[in-house]
Amino acid sequence: MGRTKQFDRTEVLKEAIQLFWKKGYADTSLSDLEKATGVNKSGLYSEFKDKDDIFLEALKLYRETHPGYAVLENEPFGWHNIENFFKANMTCKGQKGCFLSNTTREYSIIPQKVKNLMEENSVHIYELLLKNIKATGTKKDPDLLAKMIMTYAGGASLKLNAMKPEALEAETKAFLEMLKN
């Protein structure tokens, strides 16, 4: 008979998210994960295959629970959802930028399964942005606008690593106003 698990998987992943977000994938060791989660290596290995699996599952949980993604699904669709998407990405539990966007800095070294998740996420966000843009009735090319917003969002997320969210708010507001007009 096996031992009873002494930890909550979701809580472990929440701690892992904060650690990976702060240190990045490459600079986070299994020892760091043990300290942050309070779960020893054997416990982590019994729940997850390896560090790559912990990272992948942490990104999945982030994607499922981050309010920035949910606001893009609110009806009625439109610019207000896109504005709220940016607001949510600027206020992330004391962390800087978006966890997924920050992960792109390590794209060359992250496991393929994580790259696949990131690509799926990009497609999903693009589709949500497109739906919101089309709902505005804009005369501009919705496809191009969605791609521009994604590019800006990625850059803004990285910029948040070096500045306060308030400093980026005016830039984001001006960017969105340019797209609307």
pLDDT tens digits for range 31-75:
999 999 999 999 999 999 999 999 999 999 999 988 888 999 999
Residue 22 pLDDT more than 80? Answer: yes
Residue 2 included in any domain: no
The fraction of the chain above a pLDDT of 90, given in percent, is: 71
80 and 40 together in one domain = no
Domain termination residue (choose one: 21, 42, 60): 60
**DSSP-derived secondary structure for 10-76:** HHHHHHHHHHHHHH-STT--HHHHHHHH---HHHHHHHSSSHHHHHHHHHHHHHHH-HHHHHTTPSS
* Residue range 90-113: mean pLDDT, rounded: 82
Q: What is the pTM of this model?
A: 0.86
The per-residue pLDDT for 181 is 84
The per-residue pLDDT for 5 is 65
The per-residue pLDDT for 162 is 81
Structurally, the chain folds into a number of domains equal to 2
141 and 52 together in one domain = no
Sequence letter at residue 136? T
Give 83-100 pLDDT, tens digit per residue. Answer: 999 988 876 656 677 788
Residue 52 tokens, joined: 């790559």
CATH number at residue 48: 1.10.10.60
